[in-house]
Amino acid sequence: MPRHDPIGTLPFVDIDAPAIAHARFSIGDVVRHRVFDFRGVIFDVDPVFANTDEWYEAIPESVRPRKDQPFYHLLAENMESSYVAYVSQQNLVVDDSDEPIDHPAIPGLFGDFADGRYALRREHRH
């Protein structure tokens, strides 16, 4: 039920909004998955889950991450291949190996690798 201001001219509606989660990582950071054996460079960040319900439901419920946290798009690699991954913040940690990522899309988005992170190419900056 809407509430009104003291003189009754402006309606107020209570909404149930999620708390704002702050991204721990930035575009260009090199991270690794805390459970699975892969690492990658972040190329995009969603403030909350923004993938399909089918993708989300395919994750076993016992390990399914909360939707109300940042999710990161990674140019990822493991011992067998390179690929794009979508990972919740709770499943990422800083990769402290100081080794570059071997992914064919990196030269198109990023320039130099230094101090554990990649510099975004000038043409991709806002």
Domains and CATH numbers, the chain: 24-124 (2.30.30.390)
**Are 9 and 74 a contacting pair, CB within 8 Å?**
no
Residue 45: count other Cβ atoms within 10 Å of its Cβ: 16
Give the integer Cα–Cα distance in Å for 36 and 13: 44
Q: Identify the pLDDT of residue 23.
A: 93
**pLDDT of 52 higher than 80:** yes
pLDDT tens readout for residues 82-118: 999 999 999 999 999 999 999 999 999 999 999 999 9
Q: How far apart are CA 122 and CA 56, in angstroms?
A: 34
> Is the Cβ–Cβ distance between 49 and 74 less than 8 Å?
no
Q: Locate all alpha helices (DSSP H) within the chain, ordered by sequence.
A: 53-57, 106-109
What pTM does this model have?
Answer: 0.81
Q: Is the pLDDT of residue 15 over 80?
A: no
